[in-house]
A and B are shown apart, each in its own frame.
Chain A
Amino acid sequence: MDPFAKLPEECISEILSFTSALDASRSSTTSKSFKSAAESNDVWERFLPEIWQEILSTSVSPVKYASKKDLYFSLCDNPILIDGGKMSFSLDKRNGKKCIMVGAKELLISWKGCWDFTSHAKSRFSEVAKLRSTSWIHIQGKIKTQMLSENSTYAAYLVFWLERMDGLKSSNTIVRFINDKSQNTTRDWQFEARETGKIARKRMDGWMELEMGKFYNGCGDDGEVEAWLIEINNTHGKSGLVVEGIEFRPV
């Protein structure tokens, strides 16, 4: 006798809500009842960041969704502009962790006179930074760690496009914590010199990206993280670089 071999849908939902979007999506192929349990709002609400409502409230345009699952995938596939359009917000599909791109307008770009800020058909932001001509490049983007998901390793990426290959061969990048009060002596600066052309990758959205460095976001109370891209070694004139922003996303 086995009166309760079958778990009711609510129990299955409860269990699935402790897995991940990946496991829940895969489990939909188990059976029809499993699929129904795996699509419940309770499950997907658990996969969204805890402060999802707060984030949506800062969205530049209202976000419409039919269910929490719908919202989850919408936030994965279609980044929303938040904070007056200064940055974009999306989710990592696998684990629901927060990805934030700081738009070009919000970056600290030295020798700004050498750059044009213009709209770009492929950009999520209203403006991108287009390098007219310069010999030195220095771009800095920063983010409050509390905006990112806790206990996660993140990387910062420069999101860019090269209209032409003109003088841009290599660059140095640094990712570090600013004002790291808790561990100001032990945390190493990450400083890496890289051949830009070799490690840049094409993104799904058509842009290119370059990993600037990684950092671990513990409890989100480490203040701010900054990512720099510097090219001051080679004094040849450079142009053709279009910067969309700096993205912080889990690795």
Chain B
Amino acid sequence: MVTTDEKGPLTAKKKSVIIRSCDGDEFLVSESAAVLSTSLKKILEEKEDRLIHLSDIDNKTLAMVIAYLSTHADDGLSDDLKRSFDQEFVSGKEFDVLKYLVLATDTLQVTCLCYTVAKKMADIMKNKLVEWVRREFDIQNDYTPEAEAEIRRLDAWAWDDRQLEDD
């Protein structure tokens, strides 16, 4: 899977960069889009090579981040359009997908997207049971029952007559 209309192996043109995901897919990205990521900007400043290998971002997640970067690098789009793109971007995405996205934006230092994704995840998390949070974040409860009860007791105010959801 490659996000370019060219056939055959990619060669980076002037003012563009090739970014390779951990599963080997390559994406041709304009430099103006790539530098919206603080990490990519640093890499590009430091090396001549126009190929960047990201060893911890998979192709699906990378494709999404690049779509975001390209949209935000497009001078022809108004800020309003970019904002509605951001909303559309996160709407309807599974929590798991958002998890990979927030991690990728953290690694790539794309602050605005990181905020947008984190906010969406926060909205989904609201009023959810602790069991839901553990499941969706894939977290083991490492408290003893006594320790958990104690923490709950200390924050008792947060547990008053709340209707929590598990889906």
One of B8-16, B65-73, B75-83, B117-125 contacting the partner: B117-125
Write the nearest CB–CB distance from A12 to chain B, whole angstroms.
8
Interface size class of B (residues with CB under 8 A): 20 to 34
- A12, B157: Cα distance in complex, Å: 22
| Mask: chain B, 126-167; 1 = CB below 8 Å from A; 0 = not | 110010011001111111000010011001011100000000
Query: Complex: how many Å from CA A247 to CA B19?
Result: 58
Instruction: Select one of B122, B139, B159 contacting A30, CB under 8 A.
Output: B139
**CB <8 Å contact, A7 and B99:** yes
Considering only residues 7-50 of chain B, those with a C-beta below 8 Å from chain A are: 22
Chain A: minimal CB distance from B57 (Å): 8
| Complex: chain A residue closest to B107, CB-CB | A4
A-contact 0/1 string along B52-93, CB 8 Å cutoff: 000010000000000000000000000000000000000000
Contacts A10-B106, A26-B159 known; A34 to B125 CB distance under 8 Å? Answer: no
Q: Which residues on A sit within 8 Å (CB–CB) of B157? A: 25, 93
A4 close to B56 (CB less than 8 A): yes
Question: Which residues of chain A are within 8 angstroms of B121 by Cβ–Cβ distance?
Answer: 15, 18
Cβ-neighbour of B103 out of A7, A22, A27 (below 8 A): A7
For residue B114, CB closer than 8 A to chain A, the reply is yes
CB-based contact A34/B139 at 8 Å: yes
Closest residue of A by beta carbon distance from B148: A29
Contact A30 B118 (CB under 8 A): no
Most buried by A among B99, B106, B139: B139
Q: Which residues of the partner chain A approach B22 to less than 8 Å between Cβ atoms?
A: 3
Q: What 1/0 mask marks residues of chain A from 71 to 109 whose CB sits below 8 Å from any chain B CB?
A: 000000000000000000000010000000000000000
Give 5 A-B contacts (CB < 8 Å), ordered by A residue.
A7-B102, A19-B125, A27-B133, A29-B155, A34-B139
